[in-house]
Amino acid sequence: MAIENLPLGKAINLGLRQAMLNDPKVILMGEDIGTLGGVFRVTEGLKQEFGADRVLDTPLAESGIVGSAIGLAMRGYRPVVEIQFNGFVYPAFDQITSQLAKLTNRHEGAMQFPVVIRIPYGGHIGAVEHHQESNEAYFLHTAGLRVVSPSNPHDAYWMIQEAIASNDPVIFFEPMSRYWPKADVDTSASNFPLHASRVVRQGNDVTVIGHGAMVSVLLQAAEVAATEGMSLEVIDVRSLSPIDYAPILESVRKTGRCVIAQEAPGNVSLASELAATITEKAFYSLEAPVLRVAGFDTPFPPAKLEAIYLPDSDRVLDAVDRVLSY
Amino acid sequence: MADETLDPMVQFLTPEGHYAPSASAEEFLPYFQRLTEADHRKFYRDMVVIRRFDTEATNLQRQGQLALWVPSHGQEGAQVGSGHAAKAQDHIFPAYREHAIGMIRGIDVVDIIRVLRGLSHGGWDPTNPAYNNFHIYTLVIGSQALHATGYGMGINFDGATNTGNTDTDQAVIVYFGDGATSQGDVSEALVFAASYQTPQVFFVQNNHWAISVPVSTQARVPLYKRGEGFGIPGVQVDGNDVFASYAVTAKQLDDARSGKGPSLIEAHTYRIGAHTSSDDPTKYRTDAELESWIARDPITRMEAFLRNSGAPQSFFDEVHQEAADFASDVRRRTIELPNPEPASMFNHVYSDPHPVMDEQSEWLANYEASFDEQGGGH
């Protein structure tokens, strides 16, 4: 075992570096990712180590970055694209959803498009508009994409490497608010496959489900609940598309109660899909309706209101109380 | 609309088919001069065959055999000339009307039919060596410009161009129309191509109409100048002169593969037919305009040149017979094309195994089988 205590951003940095060492076709593309190392410094030092032909400070044009990454993938490269902030991905929407996602299908399998698109996402950082969105639902709805999101440094280190190794396009949502807290990373082994969901805290009364930064909120809620005699089982979804339902359904069949939490607006979202599928597949185990705790169906508010907008442990526990009172 | 009289186009043949190179044609003359009489006849043959194919496909659509057809009638000069200019190692990124170029590069044109009959989204495999790097069509206007540019970046990173060996050095050429020049992706491709000095030619077929909107709405400055602000030089060519299209494209591709970076070609041509079989051009353009372009038709121009050069009637008879045979073969094979299997919609959505595809394809198979068990059909 090789354990390092790292922040999530640095874990991704090391994962990218390892992938670049393993495969000379892995190249990084994005705005300010080279000389500066990215606005979050996730790619710091990589241009210096691998050169300007493998870490590209691209022109400032998201569609251009993703579209040219597609051409590079046709040429046999495995581009890893950084979108600087969540709300800046939309100029690339055609290239991601109509081109990248569908090109393997359009080629009837003759070409593969192993492109990773890294998107820093989520709130809790007090930023201006377009910088704190959780816009994963747009990509979950698109066939041909895989969508994942790590919640902790160990997963981040391994999941970025597994995403790069995937022969399919992967949208990689990085929880910005988790870039800095440190945790142990075992760099000797990955303990879960890319598309596995994972029980991160065992419990018996209510299953609480989330991804990315929300997992920390759920663990905090579980701590509080424990002091009040309630036992929450916490599941980290990890893979938003496809979803690994086996651990989720197993848990819900045990607890009979389920709360799903996310920062994204609830309307037509990951939580909607999870709730529908859990209801379909574990209906006779449920003692209460599956509840969603989500961002409101509004634009992400100005930063001074984000603490109200974003689900916190109190809002999660409020939902836990409601499913337990059925 | 751009006034073509202000900036003379590269032209070798007058609309009447007389050899009379324009002043701007001079630097491209060596590329014209290396063509043999057999090449001239090949160019003519290809234009006639693809027009006959286009007519046949239009008829097939009218008869309900195709969901849609995208006519290339009128643009054969721009396409056949530039299509022959590319070398075997070059990569070609078409829009969706470049049937002649596909044929020249060796794809089976029935694969184009497969797309427009509703059997396939792609049609052919551009990695098949027999197809000489002719990539699949892109229907979202202009998106392919970025794919071509990214591909060109990869050529540079691989060191696969500008080595001095023009038989192996690679270049890319991307096709799009006058309408596409308004798309952000085309401008972004010009930015990236300039930044990374891709070995690339941007080939604009200005057929003067983006469905119903004239080129004057897309651009207030001639399109061949569109690249200048990006640092990409442009040249305008009479796209209905197959020699001009050939010579200019061949030179620009040679320049691209010898480290001179990207360039842009505007080929003036005209969409004699409709945008697609769903379109009605009589609603937005005049008979007089159409007739003025029919008078500049690329095929009649080339026929006049060949007749003046001594080509016998038997040559023309043979070409027309070949075109008719080609078209009837396409018709026969189109009607024989099998429908795809329902389960095929789950294929190649992902390259790696995917549980949702497995689950849904299994569900569909069971659902379909349930009708058999009930003893009925559906």
Residues A12-33 have pLDDT tens digits of 999 999 999 999 999 999 999 9
| CATH code, domain with A31 | 3.40.50.970
> Are B122 and A102 within 8 A, CB to CB?
no
In angstroms, what separates the C-alpha of B278 from chain A's closest C-alpha? 23
Same domain, A122 and A21: yes
B4: pLDDT confidence band, cut at 50, 70 and 90?
very low
Residue B210 has phi, psi (to 5 degrees) of -100, 95
Same-domain check for residues A127 and A156: yes
| Strands of the B91-93 sheet, one edge to the other | B91-93, B172-177, B200-206, B263-268, B234-238
Query: A295: distance to nearest CA of chain B, Å?
Result: 27
* Among candidate residues A186, A210, A226, the one where a domain is terminated: A186
Q: Are residues A157 and A26 in the same domain?
A: yes
User: Could you give the CA distance from residue A252 to residue A279 in angstroms, rounded to a whole number?
Assistant: 10
Report if residue B271 sits inside a domain: yes
Is B6 within a domain?
no
Measured between beta carbons, which residues in chain A are less than 8 angstroms from residue B121? Answer: 102, 105-106
Q: Are B332 and B348 in a shared domain?
A: no
Domains of chain A: total: 2
What is the spatial distance between Cα B335 and Cα B94, in angstroms, rounded to a whole number? 26
Token code pair at residue B211: 């469905």
Q: What is the mean pLDDT of residues B164-190?
A: 97
- Strand order through the sheet with A206-210: A198-201, A232-236, A206-210, A258-265, A291-295
Name the catalytic one among A107, A124, A131, A211: A131
Q: What is the CATH classification number for the domain harbouring A217?
A: 3.40.50.920
Asked whether residue B14 is domain-assigned, the answer is no
Q: Which residue, of A154, A186, A218, is where some domain finishes?
A: A186
Token code pair at residue A209: 């489900």
Which of B195, B345, B352 should one mutate to test binding to chain A, selecting the residue with the greatest count of A CBs within 10 A?
A: B352
Q: DSSP state, B350? A: -
Instruction: Compute how many other C-beta atoms are within 10 angstroms of the C-beta atom of residue A260.
Output: 30
Residues 6+ apart with CB under 8 A from B30: none
Supply the pLDDT for residue B3: 46
Which residues in chain A touch residue B157, judged by CB atoms under 8 angstroms apart? Answer: 27, 53, 72, 77
Give the pLDDT confidence score for residue B374 in this predicted structure: 67
**Number of domains making up chain B:** 2
Q: What is the mean pLDDT of residues A169-179?
A: 98
Write out the residue range of the structural domain in which residue A166 sits.
Answer: 3-186
Statement to judge: residues B235 and B355 lie in one domain: no
Per-residue pLDDT of A95-107, as tens digits, reads 999 999 999 999 9
Question: d(Cα A54, Cα A20) in Å, to the nearest integer?
Answer: 9
Amino acid at A119: I
Q: Which of A186, A221, A247 is the last residue of a domain?
A: A186
Same domain, B204 and B169: yes
Q: Is there a contact between B107 and B129 (Cβ–Cβ < 8 Å)?
A: no
Residue A11 and residue A142 share a domain: yes
The pLDDT value given to residue A212? 98
Q: Do A32 and A115 fall into the same domain?
A: yes
Which residues in chain B have their CB less than 8 angstroms from residue A196's CB?
A: none
Query: Mean pLDDT across the stretch B323-339?
Result: 98
pTM: 0.97
B354 and B300 part of one domain:
no
SS3 B214: strand
Residue B5 forms part of a structural domain:
no
pLDDT at A210 over 90: yes
> What phi and psi values does residue A87 have, to the nearest 5 degrees?
-75, 0
Check whether A268 has a pLDDT greater than 50. Answer: yes
Phi-psi region of B44 (alpha: psi -120 to 50; beta: other; left: phi over 0): alpha
Contacts of B133 in chain A (CB under 8 A): none
Confirm whether A131 is a catalytic residue: yes
Q: What pLDDT does residue A190 have?
A: 83
Residue B16 lies in a domain: no
Query: Can you give the pLDDT at residue A252?
Result: 98
Q: Are residues A204 and A318 in the same domain?
A: yes
Q: Which range (A199-208, B223-232, B366-375) has the least confidence?
A: B366-375
Residue B178 and residue B289 in one domain: yes
Binning pLDDT at 50, 70 and 90, where does residue A63 land? very high
> Does B2 reside within a domain?
no
Binding-face residues of B in 320-359 toward A, CB within 8 A: 347-352, 354-356
Structure-block tokens of residue B311: 């080509």
pLDDT at B373: 72
Q: How far apart are CA A322 and CA A206, in angstroms?
A: 11
Task: State yes or no: pLDDT of B231 exceeds 90.
Answer: yes
* pLDDT above 70: percentage of residues in chain A: 100
How would residue B6 be classed by pLDDT, with cut points 50, 70 and 90? low
In the block, residue with structure tokens 């961002």: A295
- CA-to-CA dists, residue B231 to B8, B259, B260, angstroms: 21, 15, 12
Same domain, A223 and A171: no
Task: Choose the mutation target among B121, B176, B188, B347 for the interface with A, i.e. most A CBs under 10 Å.
Answer: B188
B136-140 long-range Cβ contacts below 8 angstroms, 24+ apart: B136/A106, B136/A107, B136/B94, B137/B94, B137/B95, B137/B96, B137/B98, B137/B112, B138/A99, B138/B93, B138/B94, B138/B95, B138/B96, B139/B96, B140/A94, B140/A98, B140/A99
Question: In this complex, which of A27, A64, A168 lies closest to B146 when CB atoms are compared?
Answer: A64
Looking at the fold, whether A7 and A93 belong to one and the same domain comes out as yes
Query: Looking at the domain assignment, is residue A267 inside a domain?
Result: yes
Range of the domain at B196: 23-336
What's the pLDDT score for residue A8?
A: 98
- B363 and B331 in a single domain? The answer is no
Q: How many CA atoms lie within 13 A of A216 on its CB side?
A: 16
A145-156 in b/e burial notation, b at 16+ Cβ within 10 A? bbbbbbbbbbbb
Residue A192 falls inside a structural domain: no
Is residue A193 situated within a structural domain? no
Peptide bond into B298 cis (omega under 30): no
Distance (Å, rounded) from C-alpha B52 to C-alpha B35? 25
* Residue B272 and residue B351 in one domain: no
- B314 lies in some domain: yes
Which residues are CB-neighbours of A33 under 8 A, at least 6 positions away? A42, A43, A46, A47, A55, A56, A57, A82
Q: Whole-number mean pLDDT of chain B?
A: 95
Neighbouring-strand partners of residue B177 = B205
Q: Is residue A213 part of a domain?
A: yes
Q: Specify the pLDDT at position B96.
A: 97
User: Chain A residues with CB-CB distance to B under 8 A?
Assistant: 27, 53, 58-59, 61, 63-64, 66-77, 91, 94-95, 98-99, 102, 104-114, 143-144, 146, 166-168, 195, 242
Residue B110 class from Cβ within 10 Å (0-12 exposed, 13-18 middle, 19+ buried)? buried
Q: Residue A191 falls within a domain, yes or no? A: no
Mutation target among B351, B358, B361 for the A interface, most CBs of A within 10 A: B351
Mean pLDDT of A132-151: 98
* Mean local confidence (pLDDT), A115-123: 98
Residue A177 shares a structural domain with residue A291: no
**pLDDT tens digits, B111-140:** 999 999 999 999 999 999 999 999 999 999
Nearest to B122 among A58, A106, A113 (CB): A106
Nearest to B223 by CA among B187, B181, B163: B181
pLDDT band at A224 (very low <50, low <70, confident <90, very high): very high
Sign of the torsion formed by the C-alpha atoms of B159, B162, B166 and B170: positive
Looking at the structure, tell me whether residues A128 and A61 fall in a common domain: yes
- Give the chain A residue whose CA is nearest to the CA of B356: A242
Residue B69: CATH number of its domain: 3.40.50.970
pLDDT-based confidence at residue B376 (cuts at 50, 70, 90): low
> Averaged over A37-44, what is the pLDDT?
98
Q: Distance between CA A272 and CA A292 in Å, rounded?
A: 8
Q: Is residue B41 part of a domain?
A: yes
**Residue B272 and residue B204 share a domain:** yes
For range A174-181, the mean pLDDT: 98
Residues A138 and A257 in one domain: no
Shared domain check, A267 and A207: yes
Examine the pLDDT at A259 and tell me if it is beyond 90.
yes
Does any CB of chain A come closer than 8 Å to the CB of residue B231?
Answer: no
Residues B66 and B151 in one domain: yes
The pLDDT of residue B17: 96
d(CA A136, CA B333): 45
